[in-house]
Amino acid sequence: MLLEKSILIAILTAITLGVALYLTYGERKVAAFMQDRLGPNRAGIFGILQPFADGGKMFFKEELIPKNAEKWLFILGPGLAMITACITSAVIPWGGDLILGGRHISLQVADVDIGILYIMGIVSVGVYGIMIGGWASNNKYSLYGAIRASSQMISYELGMGLSLIAVIMISGDLSLRHIVNQQSGWHGMQWNIIYQPLGFFIFLICALAETNRAPFDLPECETELIGGYHTEYSSMKLGFYLFAEYINMFISSAVMASVYFGGYNFPFMDAAWFGTHPNWLAMIEVLAFFAKIGFFIFLFMWIRWTLPRFRYDQLMHLGWKSLIPLAIINLVLTGGGILLFGK
């Protein structure tokens, strides 16, 4: 059991880092397409090796620590942001069980009873990496960016949590595996988006704000704060912050696919059982899950290169005066629906 989990953790970590690496390439290609440009096209065929060139640049850049910075906290900040981004994926079910040597191997690191609470808790801790890095830099622009990031993430976590409570009311469980399996009805199409369209819309907006993606990238907007909380960072410390953002985008997409779009369930999957080996079916489920994740990642990029940045007062107004009241209304409607029609 320990060996199986260790191998799964190693594979999952490699996939997460690989996805984050190539999301930088994908985003530049999407931006280039939307702006009628070519994008990266010199490092390898179609620029496919550009992420490795960028990674090498980060590795070999000079490591700078400001003279008046809090050295150990300055080092801890990006490390904490990267660690919290990576460990969030532990409770996400990536597919059904594999059968090897008569043993059922779950494609989930930990099927805990409080999976959603675990994700929300780790997301809440992630803001400390940004706050510590901005404060330890001893730079006013970094501190402004850190304060913006912390207030923004705390504000939008409320709307995100309230939207998830509505899903929990429907499923009656906090386990992500249970929530995904519960969406397997109607030939694999009984997805929560049918019952919670408003909750999904709220969650999507909050996910954009939690990952500091445009139009919610106020903590690092170049026009006001140079680079925000990572202004003083260079080399791989800066790389960790940038990587953490892309990993958070990947994990947020996985959570949205799991909670609202059936996770690894796909249309007519029950018919796929006939004449299909369980291992092949598990692989198809993984591919279906990653296809959904890819759609949401593209949506993140599309929104970034389409919408202008909010002012900070508009951002706070949207979070506190629009999304939270809408999430509460959604809770009331969900409760009323359960009372009248059952789960």
Give the per-residue pLDDT at 222. Answer: 64
In b/e form, how buried is each residue of 17-34, taking b as 16+ CB within 10 angstroms? eebbebbbbbbbbbebee
Please indicate whether residue 337 or residue 278 has the higher confidence score (pLDDT). Answer: 337
Q: Which long-range contacts (CB under 8 A, 24 or more apart) does 88-91 make?
A: 88/119, 88/122, 88/123, 88/248, 88/251, 89/12, 89/16, 89/251, 89/254, 90/118, 91/115, 91/118, 91/119, 91/176
In this predicted structure, the answer to whether residue 225 has a pLDDT above a threshold of 70 is no
Give the per-residue pLDDT at 45. Answer: 86
Residue 261 burial by CB count (10 A; 0-12/13-18/19+): exposed, middle or buried? buried
Distance between start and end Cα atoms, the chain = 35
| 277-289: average pLDDT | 88
Report the mean per-residue pLDDT for the chain.
88
Give the pLDDT band of residue 60 (cuts 50, 70, 90).
Answer: confident
Give the per-residue pLDDT at 290. Answer: 95
Torsion region of 39: left, alpha or beta (phi above 0 gives left; psi -120 to 50 gives alpha):
left
pTM of the shown model: 0.92
Please indicate whether residue 279 or residue 250 has the higher confidence score (pLDDT). Answer: 250
In this predicted structure, the answer to whether residue 152 has a pLDDT above a threshold of 70 is yes
Please indicate whether residue 214 or residue 124 has the higher confidence score (pLDDT). Answer: 124
Give the pLDDT band of residue 200 (cuts 50, 70, 90).
Answer: very high
Supply angle C-alpha 28, 33, 36, rounded to 5. 120
Give the pLDDT band of residue 56 (cuts 50, 70, 90).
Answer: confident
pLDDT digits (tens, 9 = 90+) for 83-142: 999 899 899 999 888 887 778 888 888 888 888 999 999 988 888 888 898 889 888 888
In this predicted structure, the answer to whether residue 273 has a pLDDT above a threshold of 70 is no
Give the per-residue pLDDT at 103. Answer: 81
User: For residue 163, what are its two tokens?
Assistant: 């939207």
Query: How far apart are alpha carbons 287 and 283 in whole angstroms?
Result: 6
In this predicted structure, the answer to whether residue 314 has a pLDDT above a threshold of 70 is yes
In this predicted structure, the answer to whether residue 57 has a pLDDT above a threshold of 80 is yes
